[in-house]
Structure 1
């Protein structure tokens, strides 16, 4: 009996030990979870064992120290975001050093954290210990510039990184070399954003050579990168190696004018391109002529932004007429393009063949005023239109009457945002007929009828009709009426509306005393 008892005791010891260890592990896990919940609750965040989002939480050095202590307790963490906490630069190095405990980390966002040079160098070492990292966002950290080679050394061959964002990082021409060297290791890269780095445009050769090895790339953003005529032509040579590219943003590079003469033909390689942003690129007539030949070949295009290119309006009747070959186009932005008679007429005719159009922005084109009737058929056929912007278009009362008739007859039923601001030439009669028909825009969420900054004007009787119409728009949340002087009776009507209809509409009517 004694032997049996001893045997039973010996056999049960490992089981009891395992049970104790399991219980201890569960207790530790519960304790760790409780600590993290308490920390996040203090910052107004909810606990998640796989994700910590401390974006814009005004973290202090004390908070950073507490986070450092907690990170080793979260081995399953996959996402860490401490972006827009610009008071903890220099205090992040200990946090970064703790990341080596988190082998499963997939997403790391450190936007606008005022990273110091030491932070950046430490991060380069830590990247070697995060083999599963899929997203790295270090945007708006100026000390990344000049230190990129040390940081990118942590990215190893066969990297899983799919998203790399380095916006406004003060990158240098030497950093361009470093980027070009690391891109061949990033064959899974899908999103690459170097926007607002004005010094890389003069040394694009290395980056372009690297891009030729990123066949999976879907999004390339080079907004405000100091691109020139020469660099845009160099970039064109990479397009044939980017068969999956969906988004191309070359906007706000004012020195590229003339570069598309020879580069535009390369765009034809981007068969699946959906978004093309060329706003504020100082396009010349020869650029537009080249684009006229290429645009119809981009049949998958869904968004096109040509705004703030003055030559579009004076020499682009052919370009705008070719829009009819883009059946999937959903967003068209051509504001500030100085559209003339021929260009606007060509656009009006082509727009009737854009059944998928959801957003149309014609703002800052004076010729639209008095000629909105040219878009009558388009407005009737645009059953998908959700956003219509006609800011500062010199609209007149006849245009408002036309718009009101289209609305009244059941068109534009899906319209959600309507911008009619800065059209000071509209008379009270024009505003009245519009106000009486606004109630038919049942999906409307935003309406802006503000006046120009230097203009002030008394509201007419039409304002009462407008308020009546608002009661029948259940989704409206924003009304811009800046610089309209509201009379005392109308002020009372506005207060009555807010009080009795219990609607959370934001009335933006500041700007006057």
Structure 2
């Protein structure tokens, strides 16, 4: 049994896409004597040797010493969970409770455990000075998941002091649902401008508002910014803001490829700021979702001007209802031009059918549609 399980661990770690991860965890759980009792009659021989479990636990812990990806490390922790082994996690929790994390000489396995346990464990801004010290020291920590902790702006400001250190090697920082506002964006923008090692930043479910996005923009446009992925999904009274930015590897500048800003109450001022940012580098934007917002006449004009820009390469633009959006896409294909930019639309001798007419009716009712003549 131990040899079989070790082979399964090796095979799972060799996988680039993690397709064996769930199977490995299932197999390890199945190896426990407590679970084998549930399968009496199916198994011809049961493993009753507790030493076998200790052997495979030890083997899994040894794998942390290798240079594993974050995904493989996290899966190994789930594997230890299946084997009811919590020793690594308890080690880190002890350091956290004693406040000795910054002075601890952690092994690679313990660093991975740190990433594993800091997610959703009731931390506050009081934890952040110690973590900032760790980030600013010469460590190999590459990923820090602080999701679902009440850090507040003060906590993130502390973290940023460590993130700006030349010793910081952190590449992935997750701050989803941490009670942040636009004040955190100012501190994070400073980090992005400081030639940091950050590649991915998750700020989902925080109350950043338009002002926060503007502050982040100042950091993203800096040539020192190495960020490849920024995620912002905001819940504001059942409204959401999602912003996904990806680095274009062909240059050193941050390129906006996908932007989802639906149902987040963007004002005319927000539309102007967005249009200004897009014009600074319009050729890379391929998808823009602005449904459910009320941009006003000036906002509509900003979008129309953007669409008419010869450098605009938008493949998908959404700021209409679902039916109106489908009609708009259909008509764009038929007319080879966005109908929102037209004053006259001729659909004579086209077999539209009732469904298309209903969609076109929805488009005509939309405030963005300015058609004067429909044939």
- 5 Å matches for 1:232-247? 234-236=90-92
For the aligned residues, what is the CA RMSD? 5.3
Q: Distance in 1 between matches of 2:286 and 2:53?
A: 43
The Cα of 1:289 is off from its aligned counterpart by 3.6
The Cα of 1:182 is off from its aligned counterpart by 2.0
Map of 2:195 onto structure 1: 354
- 5 Å matches for 1:102-501? 124=1, 127=4, 134-136=10-12, 137=20, 139=22, 144=27, 147-149=30-32, 178-184=52-58, 186=59, 211=61, 215-216=65-66, 218=68, 219-221=72-74, 222=77, 234-236=90-92, 259=97, 261-263=99-101, 265-266=103-104, 268-270=106-108, 276=115, 278-325=118-165, 328-339=169-180, 343-375=184-216, 377-382=218-223, 383-392=225-234, 413-424=254-265, 426-428=266-268, 430-431=270-271, 434-435=274-275, 438=278, 440-451=281-292, 460=300, 464-465=304-305, 467-468=307-308, 472-473=312-313, 476=315, 484-485=320-321, 493-499=328-334
The Cα of 1:380 is off from its aligned counterpart by 2.8
Conserved in 2, the CA contact under 8 Å of 1:307 and 1:334?
A: yes
Relative distance call for 1:317 and 1:380 in structure 2 (3 A) is same
Gaps of 5+ in 2: 13-19, 34-47, 237-250, 338-361, 364-375
TM-score, normalised with respect to structure 1: 0.43
Conserved in 1, the CA contact under 8 Å of 2:163 and 2:196?
A: no
The Cα of 1:468 is off from its aligned counterpart by 4.6
The Cα of 1:324 is off from its aligned counterpart by 0.3
Relative distance call for 1:460 and 1:315 in structure 2 (3 A) is same
Which structure has the larger Rg over C-alpha atoms?
A: 1
Relative distance call for 1:346 and 1:271 in structure 2 (3 A) is farther
Relative distance call for 1:149 and 1:299 in structure 2 (3 A) is closer
Conserved in 2, the CA contact under 8 Å of 1:314 and 1:340?
A: no
Relative distance call for 1:368 and 1:259 in structure 2 (3 A) is farther
Q: How many residues align?
A: 291
Conserved in 2, the CA contact under 8 Å of 1:390 and 1:419?
A: no
Conserved in 2, the CA contact under 8 Å of 1:303 and 1:329?
A: yes
What is the DSSP-based 3-state SS (H/G/I as helix, E as strand, rest coil) of the residue aligned with 2:211? coil
**Structure with more of its chain in helix, by fraction:** 2
The Cα of 1:446 is off from its aligned counterpart by 4.7
The Cα of 1:176 is off from its aligned counterpart by 9.6
What is the DSSP-based 3-state SS (H/G/I as helix, E as strand, rest coil) of the residue aligned with 2:221? helix
What is the DSSP-based 3-state SS (H/G/I as helix, E as strand, rest coil) of the residue aligned with 2:312? coil
Relative distance call for 1:499 and 1:322 in structure 2 (3 A) is farther
Relative distance call for 1:220 and 1:467 in structure 2 (3 A) is same
Conserved in 1, the CA contact under 8 Å of 2:150 and 2:178?
A: yes
Conserved in 2, the CA contact under 8 Å of 1:233 and 1:260?
A: no
- Higher relative contact order (CA closer than 8 Å, sequence separation 6+): 2
What is the DSSP-based 3-state SS (H/G/I as helix, E as strand, rest coil) of the residue aligned with 2:233? coil
The Cα of 1:323 is off from its aligned counterpart by 0.8
Q: Distance in 2 between matches of 1:416 and 1:260?
A: 44
Q: Distance in 1 between matches of 2:213 and 2:7?
A: 57
Conserved in 2, the CA contact under 8 Å of 1:390 and 1:421?
A: no
Q: Distance in 2 between matches of 1:256 and 1:446?
A: 47
TM-score, normalised with respect to structure 2: 0.55
Conserved in 2, the CA contact under 8 Å of 1:272 and 1:301?
A: no
The Cα of 1:139 is off from its aligned counterpart by 1.5
Gaps of 5+ in 1: 1-123, 151-173, 190-210, 237-254, 395-409, 503-511
The Cα of 1:135 is off from its aligned counterpart by 0.2
Relative distance call for 1:214 and 1:347 in structure 2 (3 A) is closer
